[in-house]
Amino acid sequence: MNPLSALYGAIVQTRNDLYDRKSLKIHKLQGPVVSIGNLSVGGSGKTPFLIALGELLKARGVSYDVLTRGYGRATKGVAVVDPNGSPREFGDEPLLIARKLAVPVIVGIDRYAAGQLAEQKFGPQLHLLDDGFQHRRLARDFDIVMVDPGDVQDSLLPLGRLREPLRSLRRANAVVLTNDASFEGLLIAPYLVWRVRRDIIVVPDLKGPCFAFCGVARPQNFFEQLKAAGVTLSGSQSYPDHHAYTEGDVRRLMALRARHGATVFVTTEKDAVNLQSHLDALAPVHAVPVRMQLEKAENAVSALLSAIAARNRRSA
């Protein structure tokens, strides 16, 4: 192992040991906490999965809010997301979640403080904790971890992308396997194993060659999914994740569309949030929803709610 990765791993292990031994304090909210996280840096589908799970919970009549860091926002402190606000105020993904799910979304680096504000304003309902696997300061009742095929062969930071080693999955209650990959080597711990399928819903009136662009963690995945869905791409352009678009970006995109002979732009819903007032300047432009489908969803949600109920009975 690379010496820097070995040092990083030792620091992570020490921190986890301190939490396991309760030498570092873990704070508990009144309402149950369901964490959705991953092992690696970058995108692994946490936001689409959180939205999919949120829709399933709403269908069951479960009231909940979302606690999230608010990555990329320029503001500080803890705040309730205004769905009509800007990415600068709240971050692009919190805005997307608030608009898609129409539930309270609270941003804050300190997720315990975010949860306290949520309970003051909305009561001690269920909390969905976004990107929470490493945020061990906040107690959780159910830990969901997204695992991508690349995680199995990857190494720890800074050489690789893993924030924690694979053995950390022992803390998980459920592991979500993405991208139709096989993870037999991981299926040795007593966690539930769920699978998801990511679908792109293409706007039905897309005609002619399209120019695709996006600022997400894994842009090539988006472009390949568009092609797989039958979209004709004459060109594409990627930007860094959470990219804040400028007038200069709009001018360059218009020039690229003309150069590649495209008639329409396609992008992600997250990019539509980040484009803000620039979106209309790119018309015609379609923001394509990226949706995640949980296999055997009803069984999975029942298992999650049953585990929370059992934990609450034990602590009563």
Q: Which CATH number belongs to the domain containing residue 249 in this structure?
A: 3.40.50
- Is position 156 within any domain? yes
CATH number at residue 39: 3.40.50.300
Is 79 among the domain residues? yes
137-174 pLDDT tens trace:
999 999 999 998 888 889 999 999 999 999 999 999 99
245-267 as b/e: b if 16+ CB within 10 A = beeebeeebeebbeeeebebbbb
What is the pTM (predicted TM-score) of this model? 0.94
Q: Is residue 1 part of a domain?
A: no
Q: What is the mean pLDDT of residues 259-265?
A: 96
pLDDT tens-digit readout, 42-88: 777 899 999 999 999 999 999 999 999 999 899 999 999 999 999 99
Residue 41 tokens, joined: 């840096």
Q: Is residue 59 part of a domain?
A: yes
Q: Do 120 and 218 belong to one domain?
A: no
Sequence-distant (≥ 6) Cβ neighbours of residue 298 within 8 angstroms: none
Amino acid at 8: Y
Angle, CA of 158, 163 and 166, to the nearest 5°: 115
Higher pLDDT pick, 203 / 263: 263
DSSP labels for the chain? --HHHHHHHHHHHHHHHHHHTTSS--B--SS-EEEEEESBSS-SSHHHHHHHHHHHHHHTT--EEEEE--TT-S--S-EE--TTS-HHHH-HHHHHHHHHH-S-EEE-SSHHHHHHHHHHHH-S-EEEEET-TT-TTB--SEEEEEE-HHHHH--BTTTSSBSS-GGGGGG-SEEEE-TT---GGGTTSS-EEEEEEEEE---TT--S-EEEEE-SS-HHHHHHHHHHTT--EEEEEE--TT----HHHHHHHHHHHHHTT-SEEEEEHHHHHHHGGGGGGG-SEEEE-EEEEETTHHHHHHHHHHHHHHHHHHH-
Q: Which residue has the higher pLDDT, 179 or 33?
A: 33
Q: Is residue 97 part of a domain?
A: yes
Same domain, 63 and 158: yes
Tokens 């315990």 found at: 112
Number of domains forming the structure of the chain: 2
Tell me the C-alpha distance between 119 and 105, whole Å: 12
What's residue 45's pLDDT? 86
pLDDT value, residue 235:
98
Mean pLDDT of 287-295: 91
- Which pLDDT belongs to residue 35? 98
Query: Domain check: are 121 and 255 in the same one?
Result: no
Residues 46 and 182 placed together within one structural domain of the fold: yes
6 domain residue, yes or no: no
Query: Do 133 and 213 have their domain in common?
Result: no
Does residue 35 belong to any structural domain of this protein? yes
Domain that holds residue 39: 11-198+293-315
